[in-house]
Amino acid sequence: MAALFNELKIKDVSFRNRIAVAPMCQYSSDNGFPNDWHFVHLGSRAVGGAGLVVVEATAVSAEGRISPADSGIYLDEHVEPFGRIASFLKQHGAVAGIQIAHAGRKASANKPWEGDNHIDSDKGGWDTIAPSAVAFGANLPKVPQAMSVQDISRIREAFVLAAQRSLAAGFELLELHFAHGYLAHEFYSPLANKRTDQYGGSFENRIRFMMETMEAVRKVWPERLPLIARLSVTDWDEGGVTVEESIELVKRLKAAGLDLVDVSQGFVTPDISKIPWGPGFMVPIASRIRKEADIPVAVGWMISEADQAEQIVGQESIDLVMLARELLRDPYWPYHAAVKLGDPKADTILPVQYARAVRAR
């Protein structure tokens, strides 16, 4: 039996294995609505055997979308089409998760394959908001409006409403997107947060937005279901957030009811030259956080081989591996990994419609 195929239980939710489909923006929505593309994209990865499928960064408000084609859960009408997807994921044995997000100063951009840059105001671009009136730079030069305390309350409430809609749609796991240089990370990082009020400056002040949002969401997201957060635990840059302070943040989020931390990194500034790219480069940091903050962890980045994932779960005790690009290459990666690792689950991963025919090969 491979460790990768051991069940995991968090709260009342059981995961059939340790393989998660990381959230991946598809830039394929109109006014936030998921459609057939999302149904097939997400559904086929549940059919392929993943234990958890997390829907892409889904905006809590229209202005919080990275692009006009982002998915969103800011209208009650979004619940029904997301419900169809969540139901299919569960029917095929995956835990149905969704990541809710606000893009902050990185909002109002073109799709990656249409420039990945801020949209001009006369071409449908919109005003962006962020902790401070400081632009990201590079391809995203628009200067955001610094948020008032009222704006902060409004966005916190938007996260709460998005959580309630996610629950109504049937999702069983909620991920708060606190990473990758989007709004929450912009509050956390001194590289983006230049505020002098209670939301900026000291560590306590920079984490206030995340803590308040997390606490407000936990009140409406049932105790029996996992609430997790994706964090950029380091900015890899002088003056940015460090792993040490992120460990303290994770301890506080855990005390406020966080069930698992999805360990990620970077992207609050355009400079990615200091990221130590390499297979599984975030794994040692995730292991350290798991040990020092005593909380289950998920980790991704450059995990692509079955043996590698097996070692990460079996020897490093990582609770979940989050795969993105490799699962785009092969939606059946979990099935193929079970075959490679010789796990008996290889015989039961595929749906009945396929299993007999494939075994008969």
Ligand X SMILES: Cc1cc2nc3c(=O)[nH]c(=O)nc-3n(C[C@H](O)[C@H](O)[C@H](O)COP(=O)(O)O)c2cc1C
Choose between 79 and 302: whose C-beta lies nearer to ligand X: 302
Choose between 102 and 180: whose C-beta lies nearer to ligand X: 180
Hey, which residues between 121 and 160 contact ligand X (CB under 6 A)? Answer: none
- 22 lines the binding site for ligand X (CB under 6 A): yes
Q: Which tokens go with 13?
A: 């939710």
- 23 lines the binding site for ligand X (CB under 6 A): yes
* Nearest distance, CB of residue 358 and ligand X, angstroms: 25
Number of residues lying near ligand X (CB under 6 A):
20
Hey, which residues between 179 and 208 contact ligand X (CB under 6 A)? Answer: 179-180
Q: Which tokens go with 111?
A: 């799709």
- 291 lines the binding site for ligand X (CB under 6 A): no
- 25 lines the binding site for ligand X (CB under 6 A): yes
Q: Which tokens go with 62?
A: 């229209």
Contact predicate 61/75, CB 8 Å:
no
Closest CA to 19 of 86, 94, 89: 94
Q: Which tokens go with 190?
A: 């001194």
Contact region with ligand X (CB under 6 A), list: 73-81, 134-142, 175-183, 237-245: 175-183
Choose between 47 and 176: whose C-beta lies nearer to ligand X: 176
340 CB-contact burial (10 Å; exposed 0-12 / middle 13-18 / buried 19+) = middle
- 163 lines the binding site for ligand X (CB under 6 A): no
* Nearest distance, CB of residue 256 and ligand X, angstroms: 21
* Nearest distance, CB of residue 323 and ligand X, angstroms: 5
Please identify which of the residues 27, 74, 182, 188 carries the catalytic annotation: 182
Choose between 25 and 85: whose C-beta lies nearer to ligand X: 25
Cα separation of 301 and 280, whole Å? Answer: 6
Hey, which residues between 214 and 243 contact ligand X (CB under 6 A)? Answer: 230
Q: Which residue in the set 154, 194, 274, 325 belongs to the binding site for ligand X (CB under 6 A)?
A: 325
Hey, which residues between 38 and 77 contact ligand X (CB under 6 A)? Answer: 56-57
Choose between 27 and 199: whose C-beta lies nearer to ligand X: 27
Contact region with ligand X (CB under 6 A), list: 23-31, 141-149, 209-217, 311-319: 23-31
Contact region with ligand X (CB under 6 A), list: 39-47, 89-97, 139-147, 300-308: 300-308
The set of long-range contacts for 324-327, using a CB threshold of 8 Å and a minimum separation of 24, is: 324/21, 324/22, 324/24, 324/300, 327/21, 327/22, 327/45, 327/48, 327/50
74 is catalytic: no
Question: Residue numbers of the site for ligand X (CB under 6 A)?
Answer: 22-25, 56-57, 99, 177, 179-180, 230, 264, 300-303, 323-326
Catalytic residue numbers read 182
